[in-house]
């Protein structure tokens, strides 16, 4: 009897285990999955909605670019990552600026004292930011830097009238220029003096605008290093960290799909005297270039002693 009594016990125990073991195993597996999901959610939670690598207030740069030669060209760039601003302003070489206790054209200032003095003169004339940098390139260096990007496709019809283009032998349709060809065109416009300075500056702005629009996505990774490679041939006040800053700002602007806005500095042209002077329209253009509203600009002027 005693031996026979164990058989129902073991049979019942075996049946119970057959039922319980899958339930226990399934519960353990489900618990592990739930814990893992909770851990993943807790790990990801702090990153939700938090922007990565937002630009800082000092991720901005104002730059005077001078293309050297017998007829130097002048372009101002304003790059501001927090404002998502990418602006350029072509400045006529005939602009009257303070120089040597008197006045001279920006071109004469460059010939006599170089880009650093031009920068200082424009700070006084156009009220540019004090931290404006300058960079001067010879035609040969400019051609070397631009060669990696290929030709630029540009239409001058937005800068010059049909009559002006016809007189210059230029087409109103989109044209393709290599760096040397574009440089020769712009230099020729300044040398022959057929067009008012504002129109020449507008043509220069159109060429640079086309270059930056067509190559914008390439610039963060290539332009700072290209400038570093030519640093011994540059006239500039760039420090080592400025090349890195330029790359960072360009990367922010590219990632945020900024679009270049270009203009030419308006002014009063006295053909007989050969002078191009600042007007209210000039000051308004500079405010737009620097992303400063008229109200802010007026308040700033009113606060000056």
Asked if residue 300 belongs to a domain, the reply is no
Asked if residue 125 belongs to a domain, the reply is yes
Q: Mean pLDDT check: name the lowest of 24-33, 78-87, 278-287.
A: 24-33
Looking at residue 187, which CATH number applies to its domain? 3.40.630.190
Using 50, 70 and 90 to split pLDDT, how confident is the model at 295? very low
- For the cut 80, the answer to whether the pLDDT of residue 158 exceeds it is yes
Asked if residue 264 belongs to a domain, the reply is yes
pLDDT at residue 138 in the model: 94
CA atoms of 72 and 180, how far apart (whole Å): 14
Asked if residue 54 belongs to a domain, the reply is no
pLDDT at residue 6 in the model: 56
- For the cut 90, the answer to whether the pLDDT of residue 120 exceeds it is yes
Q: What percentage of the chain has pLDDT greater than the value 70?
A: 79
- pLDDT by residue (tens digit) across 207-224? 999 999 999 999 999 999
What's the average model confidence in pLDDT over 6-21? 58
Q: Mean pLDDT check: name the lowest of 34-48, 122-136, 207-221.
A: 34-48
Higher pLDDT pick, 167 / 253: 253
How many domains does the chain contain in total? 1
Using 50, 70 and 90 to split pLDDT, how confident is the model at 10? low
- Residue pair 179/140 in contact (Cβ under 8 Å)? The answer is no
- For the cut 50, the answer to whether the pLDDT of residue 298 exceeds it is no
Q: Mean pLDDT check: name the lowest of 12-21, 186-195, 234-243.
A: 12-21
CA atoms of 221 and 286, how far apart (whole Å): 29
Asked if residue 53 belongs to a domain, the reply is no
Mean pLDDT of the chain: 86
CA atoms of 23 and 145, how far apart (whole Å): 72
- pLDDT by residue (tens digit) across 45-95? 444 444 457 899 999 999 999 999 778 999 999 999 999 999 999 999 999
Asked if residue 6 belongs to a domain, the reply is no
Higher pLDDT pick, 117 / 8: 117
Asked if residue 82 belongs to a domain, the reply is yes
Asked if residue 16 belongs to a domain, the reply is no
Q: Which domain holds residue 156?
A: 60-292
């Amino acid at each position: 009897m005693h031996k026979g009594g164990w058989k129902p016990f073991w049979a019942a125990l075996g049946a119970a285990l057959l039922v319980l073991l899958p339930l226990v195993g399934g519960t353990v597996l489900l618990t592990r999955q739930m814990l893992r999901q909770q851990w993943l959610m807790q790990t990801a939670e702090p990153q939700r909605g938090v922007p990565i690598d937002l630009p800082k207030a000092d991720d901005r740069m104002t730059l005077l670019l001078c293309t050297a030669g017998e007829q130097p060209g002048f372009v101002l760039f304003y790059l501001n990552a927090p404002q998502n601003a990418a602006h350029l302003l072509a400045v006529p070489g005939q602009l009257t600026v303070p120089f040597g206790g008197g006045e001279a054209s920006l071109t004469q200032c460059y010939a006599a004292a170089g880009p650093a003095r031009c920068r200082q003169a424009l700070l006084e004339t156009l009220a540019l930011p004090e931290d404006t940098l300058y960079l001067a390139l010879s035609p040969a260096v400019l051609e070397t830097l631009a060669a990696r990007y290929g030709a630029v496709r540009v239409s001058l019809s937005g800068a010059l009238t049909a009559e002006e283009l016809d007189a210059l032998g230029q087409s109103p349709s989109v044209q393709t220029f290599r760096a040397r060809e574009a440089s020769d065109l712009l230099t020729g416009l300044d040398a022959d003096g057929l067009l008012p300075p504002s129109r020449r500056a507008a043509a220069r702005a159109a060429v640079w605008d086309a270059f930056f629009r067509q190559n914008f996505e390439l610039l963060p990774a290539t332009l700072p290093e290209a400038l570093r490679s030519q640093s011994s041939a540059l006239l500039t006040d760039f420090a080592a960290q400025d090349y890195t800053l330029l790359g960072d700002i360009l990367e922010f602007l590219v990632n945020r799909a900024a679009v270049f806005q270009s203009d030419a500095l308006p002014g009063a042209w006295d053909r007989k005297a050969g002078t191009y002077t600042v007007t209210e329209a000039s000051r308004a253009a500079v405010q737009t270039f620097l992303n400063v509203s008229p109200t802010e600009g007026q308040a700033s002027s009113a606060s000056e002693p």
